[in-house]
Structure 1
Amino acid sequence: MIGNILRFKTAVALVLLGLLTLLAGIGQKTFWAPAETVTATAPSGGSAAPLTVFDEKLRTLHGGTVKIHIKGEGSFMLASGRPDDVDAWVGKTAHNTVSGVSEDGKSLQLDHADGEDSAPSPAGSDLWVTTENANGELDYTWTAPADGDWSLLLAADGKKAAPASISMTFPNDTSTPWAIPLMVLGALLMLAGAALLVLKPKPRNGKGGGTAAGGAKEGLPASPAPEGPEAKTGHTSQRARAGSAGAAVALLTAAAVGGTGVAAQASQSPAPSPAATTAAAQESGTPVLVDAQFRRILEQVASAVNAGDAAKDAAKLAPRVGSTELDVRKQNYKIRSSVGSYEPRMPVRATKLLTTVVSNNREWPRRVMAVTQGDGNVVPQLLTLVQASARENYKLVGATPLQPGTTFPGINRGGTETPAASDKSGLLYSGEEALSGLADRLTKADSTFKDKLAEGKSSPYIADTLAYQKDVVASGKNGKFSFSHKVDPASTVVFRTADGGALVLGRLNFALDGTPKNSGDKLTIGNDAAALAGGKETSTGMVLSFAESVAVYVPPAGSKDPMKLVAATRGLVGAKFK
């Protein structure tokens, strides 16, 4: 009798304990479940600064989508860019950095760096891949515009303090590693309690009462259980069930504890420092532009060139055109203002982009290329753009038509090396040697580079230039003429091609020097040159200056193939009398 009461109480206790354990597990999945997101706010009263940087590691701190809420007075902007680009643009300007989140997840960590109290407005910088403009308030979902790391820059106009009211909402860890084990354990405890209530000990000789198994009376030691098959089987079955239940609980508990331990270890792993991330980005050779960024820049360049061409106003070119291309177009406008028949420079179009070439050298100056062909382009043209420094935008420095029938060499669009002009490693010639060889060939009919450059139909510019110089001498009977083509070293750019060779771009300064043969003789120049020189005739001599934009393909070292002139053009940039 006492045994039955004890078994009943034990069964009830197991059922109640199991029910509580089950409810605890269910509670972790329902009313005790952690919030799906957690919001951290920037502390108030910090040091004001014109710029605020969001560290790249915050975007992936907890995985999933990060949302940012910003409040400020007046207009402000939030731009995304590569971490090293953001750092380079900020430079020595005083700034705050949102670098992390407090341990309780409620506060953003803000680091202040002293420096210059203002900066140019970051609006419109080519470094930004995306830009969000706001007035008073902004809700922003931080997503990566492309592979790799990305930082954010918050600013008003570079002079006023950047908005300080910032909150970031991160995905929260909603995992409940104990929920399932508790539910399983609770169910097992309830089953065990129910089993005690339902299952009764088998009485000896088929009779119940106060006699225990083996014939012992209540309160006396029991005799050993019989070794018959039935009794042995029942004993083994009960022990197996108990062992299975215990093993299951132990396994689930171990799994839960193990899972929690792994999670804790992962959350405590130190995040890489911004400097280490930046160094890794530079080391991996991340392309300096993504496609969308390049297209936007190219459209702005084309728009500036078209505006300048339409108005014949070089001032409209200044924001997006520089170096050789600015010199040539500026003089072209001047000549056309007095010589209506003078041919305009080839228009720049962004409507039909055939290919792009970007450097993975993240130092400045940065150089990129595009091959385009739009309305007004008889043949595709090679556009060379250069960004001189982080706070300057890309400018068009060369617009050079491809030679008729020329195939543009294959270059890795995902980013390619831009070796120094003097670097000959892996090449038949260095960039310097290639352009010097071309200059020598254009100057001398018997140049030693005659057989080292492909000519004829594939490179008609060489033959045309030599023919032009020959015609000048033949038509100027009363003058002495000399010609020179000299490399402008500062303009030389080299891009590695996919086959191990290189494409070398640069400028040659082409000078035509003429002097009368005898006293009293006069030299006459064309209307185009006269528009720059201020007259058509001279008895003392004259010098005409042309800027030649060229691109030469250099084969890899060991190749038996000659170099090839891929693109070339010239424009009159100066004329003067001696």
Structure 2
Amino acid sequence: MRFVLAIVAFVVAAVMIVAGIAQRTVFAPPTHIEAGTSVSGDTRYVVVDGSVLNAHPGQQTLTVTGAPDGAKQVVAYGRTADVKAWLGDQKYVEVGYRTATGKLTTKSVTPKSGTKDEGAADEGAAVGSTATPSPAATPSASESAGAASGSTSGDAAKTAGPNPAGSDLWLEEFDGEAAQVTRMNIPDDVSVIVASDGTKAAPSRVTVTWPVDSSTPWAFPLIIGGIVLLLIGIALYLWGLYAHRRSRGPRRKSGPKMPKLPKAPKYKPTAMIETTPRGRRSTRRARVIIPAALAGVLALTGCTAGTGAATTPTKTATPLATEAPDAKDQLPPAVTVPQLERIVKRVSESAAQADAKASPDLAKERFTGPALQLREANYAIRAKKSDEPALPAIPASPIVLSLPQATDAWPRTVAAVIETPKDAKGTAQAPIAITMVQETPRDNYQVEYAVSLEPKAKVPNLAPASIGSAVVPPDSKLLALPPQKVAAAYGDILMNGDKSQYANLFSAEGDTLRTQVGADWKAKQKAAVPATASLEFTSQPGAGTDVAMATNDSGAIVWTDLQESQVLKVVEAGAEVSAGATAAALTGAASSKTGIESTFGYQLAFYVPPAGSDAKITLLGFSQGMIAAKQL
């Protein structure tokens, strides 16, 4: 019997080991699913929709090949609406996915027509395709799309398209060799754009790969179990062999058996004869015993029932569903935090180059409005006045506050507060707050305001960066003061101090600009002017755009531009006035017999409380400098 069991164990062990190894080799499942398509002709842009990339679960791997110049190929992804807005009227090939065949399809799209898509795709390749295959033969989706794109190659070659490389619109971007194989995990509302530099065709081959669960959970247990069973079979075989050898050895005859001892008699007690009691007493005893027994049973039953009732589960009340706003009704933030970090880094690098070379042309790439005006003037002054300090640099990181506008249209506004590193002496510097604007989908963000925060500035509660903030209209009456009137009101305070009609609306606590150039400082400057000259100050709102972004308390952070003119005029014939080193650098004259007019620009950031609030308008930060000077 032991040999039979051993043979059975050997057979079962062999089957288990072979099955386990086969699961890892012959019957091993595929590790990935792959679908690809080719795009021929002079197609400049290829768009892969997020729904295509999510046709299978798992991280997507996008492989592109066949670019005319591998160093200029670009793979980037962004929100689908943003990608199409960036493309504008540019023709592109849209990649789809056919579930029935598991293959990628292509379709040529011409956004300018708006009604029909040029080119052809196989039937069912994409919704809205209006092309039909050739009567002679039904071409594949990629071939038909290639033919379509090839038919328009002559027109496309005449004009160069925009270059997607370096655009602030993308959530992530890969360039050159890094674009050949990219791994991503994007949602359905995000699309991928594949292109070169806009002058050459896009990569001709696009392949998407999805991972597949190729685990074999039974392979290892089968192999281990087979080995264990094999060892058991070996043990049974050896045991059977040992027993078989013992059974074939010599046997010795035993002597006569010993006589058995007599058995001792067993004692059996006599059964007691029970007599049934008779008479009235016996009946009474029975009546007493029965109720007592019933009472015990009922008591035990009662305990059991009570225990069962206590352990019976009770139903949990179902919570009422609260109505949440539909995600489709919420506008997305203009940028994500990683996207903003990348934008700020680019702005910092561009600003550093412009400041180092004092180049207005370089500054125009990333600055606009009041921020550009102040930098251009600083460059002009530094060219004539070597000891003129440069404006504060724009740090690349870390971003301590992100406030994007919640919008899907243009222009878009984004604000950020960046921590500034310590200076050479180890002194802490004030953080820099910047406001950037993107005018169109193809424009990069430009800094419109760049201010240093006040030491005692307290930024109010703001919406999280994942939600974004709303832009408040300049004439909004829901604030203590409309944004478009803040600059003029504050300028009046700098002129008249506490006598200003707006003094009760603004907080003087922590306002260092008021201390530097306020009414008291202006009075001292006038007193220092000789009798041969006069000094007058005027202020007016600057040409910059008033930007207001809502806070959580229904207030707003307002960025505005204020300009002050300082007119030093000669009032006595033959007298002269000194222009000062800074004004002389802009006017080219150290003195004047008529007068000098100097204009100073102030970039201001305020917190404006909601209308009806007891809180006051607070200056959060500012930057200042001379922006113009001329002789009268």
1:484 is aligned, of 538, 541, 555, to 538
Q: 2-side partners of 1:308 and 1:134: how far apart?
A: 26
Quick check: 1:508 aligned with 2:562? yes
Residues 100 and 110 of structure 1 are in contact (CA less than 8 Å); yes or no, is this contact kept in structure 2?
no
- AA matched with 2:209: T
Distance between the aligned counterparts of 1:173 and 1:426, measured in 2?
A: 57
Q: 2:37 aligns with which of 25, 30, 42?
A: 42
**2:194 is the counterpart of 1:141:** no
- Rounded to whole Å, the distance in 1 between the matches of 2:39 and 2:387 is 67
- Give unpaired runs (5+ residues) of structure 1: 1-29, 175-279
Matches within 5 A, 1:553-564: 553-564=607-618
- State how far apart, in whole Å, the 1-side matches of 2:213 and 2:56 are: 8
2:586 is equivalent to residue 532 of structure 1: yes
Instruction: Indicate yes or no: 2:465 matched with 1:471.
Output: no
Q: Which has the higher strand share?
A: 1
Corresponding residue SS for 1:386: strand
In structure 1, distance between residues paired with 2:99 and 2:107: 10
- Once the two structures are TM-superposed, the CA of residue 484 in structure 1 deviates from its matched residue by 2.4
Cα distance change of structure 1 residues 48 and 343 upon mapping to structure 2, 3 Å threshold:
closer
| Residues 109 and 303 of structure 1: CA distance in aligned 2, closer, same or farther (over 3 Å) | closer
CA contact (8 A) 1:339 1:527 kept: yes
Aligned residues: 443
What is the CA-CA distance between 1:79 and the residue it aligns to?
A: 0.4
Say whether the 8 Å CA contact 2:474–2:546 is kept in structure 1. no
Kindly tell me: are residues 307 and 407 of structure 1, through their superposed partners in 2, closer, same or farther at Cα, counting changes over 3 Å?
same
Q: Distance in 2 between matches of 1:474 and 1:411?
A: 45
Q: Helix, strand or coil for the counterpart of 1:110? A: strand
SS of the residue corresponding to residue 365 of structure 2 reads coil
Partner residue in 1 for 2:383? 337
Match of residue 60 from structure 1: 54
Correspondence 1:132 to 2:174:
yes
Residue 407 of structure 1 corresponds to: 458
Q: Is the contact made by 1:509 and 1:546 (CA closer than 8 Å) also made in structure 2?
A: yes
Match of 2:162 among 117, 120, 131: 120
Residue number in structure 1 paired with 2:346: 300
Aligned 8 A contact 2:58 2:185 in 1: no
Deviations along 1:89-130, whole A, 9 cap, x unmatched? Answer: 111111111133263222424242265833221111111222
Matched, 1:150 2:190: yes
Q: Which has the larger radius of gyration?
A: 2
SS at match of 1:390: coil
Aligned AA (2:611):
A
8 Å CA contact retained: 1:453, 1:562? yes
1:375 paired residue number: 422
Indicate if the aligned counterparts of 2:472 and 2:550 stay in contact, CA closer than 8 A.
no
TM-score by length of 1: 0.70
The farther-off stretch of 336-345 and 443-452 is 336-345
Whole-angstrom CA distance in 2 between matches of 1:533 and 1:281: 57
Q: How does 1:173-572 map to 2 (within 5 A)?
A: 283-371=329-417, 372-376=419-423, 378-414=429-465, 415-424=467-476, 426-445=478-497, 446-455=499-508, 457-466=509-518, 467-476=520-529, 477-488=531-542, 490-572=544-626
CA–CA distance in structure 2, aligned partners of residues 173 and 498 of structure 1? 46
Instruction: Please state how far the C-alpha of 1:34 moved relative to its aligned partner.
Output: 9.0
534-543 or 515-524, which moves further after superposition?
515-524
Alignment-mate amino acid for residue 113 of structure 1: T
Structure 1 window deviating more from structure 2 (347-356 vs 388-397): it is 347-356
Gaps of at least 5 residues in structure 2 are: 1-24, 113-154, 215-325
- What is the rounded CA distance, in whole Å, between the counterparts of 2:373 and 2:178 in structure 1? 44
Q: Which runs of 4+ in 1 moved over 4 A?
A: 30-38, 170-174, 280-283
Cα distance in 1 for partners of 2:86, 2:59 equals 26
Post-superposition CA distance 1:425-450 (Å, at most 9, x none): 64222211323322232233432101
Equivalent-residue separation in structure 1 for 2:517 and 2:495 (angstroms): 9
CA displacement, residues 474-533 of structure 1 (integer Å, 9 cap, x when unaligned):
222333333222223542111111222100002112222232223333322211111101
Other-structure match for 2:77: 80
Tell me: CA distance 1:136–1:499, structure 2 relative to 1, closer, same or farther (3 Å): closer
Relative distance call for 1:127 and 1:159 in structure 2 (3 A) is: same
Stretch of structure 1 that moved more, 485-494 or 78-87: 485-494
Offset, 1:458:
1.4
CA distance in 2, matches of 1:284, 1:44: 37
CA shift, 1:311, in A, is: 3.4
What is the SS of the residue equivalent to 1:160? Answer: coil
- For residues 59 and 400 of structure 2, the distance between their equivalents in structure 1, rounded to whole angstroms, comes to 35
Q: Is the 8 A contact 1:38 1:105 kept in 2?
A: no
Q: 1:33 to 1:330 in 2, by over 3 A?
A: same
Q: Which amino acid aligns with 2:513?
A: Y
> Matched residues in 2 for 1:551 and 1:114: separation?
41
Structure 1 residues 331 and 282: CA distance shift in structure 2, 3 A: farther
Q: CA deviation at 1:349?
A: 1.8
Distance in 2, Cα, partners of 1:528 & 1:405: 30
Distance 1:70 1:569, change over 3 A: closer
Superposed displacement of residue 336, structure 1: 2.6
Measured in 2, the distance between the counterparts of 1:107 and 1:440 equals 66
Which stretch of the first structure deviates more once superposed, 505-514 or 409-418? 409-418
Deviation at 1:555, TM superposition (A): 0.7
Q: Percent same amino acid at aligned positions?
A: 25
1:388-412 superposed Cα distances (whole Å, 9 cap, x missing partner)? 2211212222221112312122222
Q: 1:341 to 1:48 in 2, by over 3 A?
A: closer
Equivalent-residue separation in structure 2 for 1:554 and 1:492 (angstroms): 13
Question: For 2:416 and 2:49, how far apart are their aligned partners in 1?
Answer: 32
Per the alignment, do residues 391 and 282 of structure 1 end up closer, same or farther by CA in structure 2, a change over 3 Å counting? farther
- Counterpart check, 1:99 vs 2:121: no
- Asked if 1 retains the 8 angstrom alpha-carbon contact of 2:369 and 2:543, the reply is no
Deviation at 1:352, TM superposition (A): 3.8
Instruction: Give the partner amino acid of 1:360.
Output: A
Instruction: Choose the corresponding residue for 1:165, options 197, 201, 205.
Output: 205
1: CA distance, partners of 2:50 / 2:438: 24
Taking the aligned partners of 2:477 and 2:37, their CA distance within structure 1 comes to 52
Whole-Å separation in 1 of the counterparts to 2:534 and 2:577: 10
| 1:378 aligned partner, one-letter code | Q
CA-atom RMSD, angstroms? 3.1
CA contact (8 A) 1:54 1:99 kept: yes
| Structure 2 match to 1:228 | none
Residues 74 and 135 in structure 1, CA contact (< 8 A), matched pair in contact too: no
Contact kept? 1:385, 1:396, Cα under 8 Å: yes
Residue identity matched to 2:340: F
Kindly indicate whether the alpha-carbon contact (under 8 Å) linking 1:126 and 1:393 is maintained by their aligned counterparts in 2: yes
Q: Deviations over 1:181-240 (max 9, x none)?
A: xxxxxxxxxxxxxxxxxxxxxxxxxxxxxxxxxxxxxxxxxxxxxxxxxxxxxxxxxxxx
Deviation at 1:136, TM superposition (A): 11
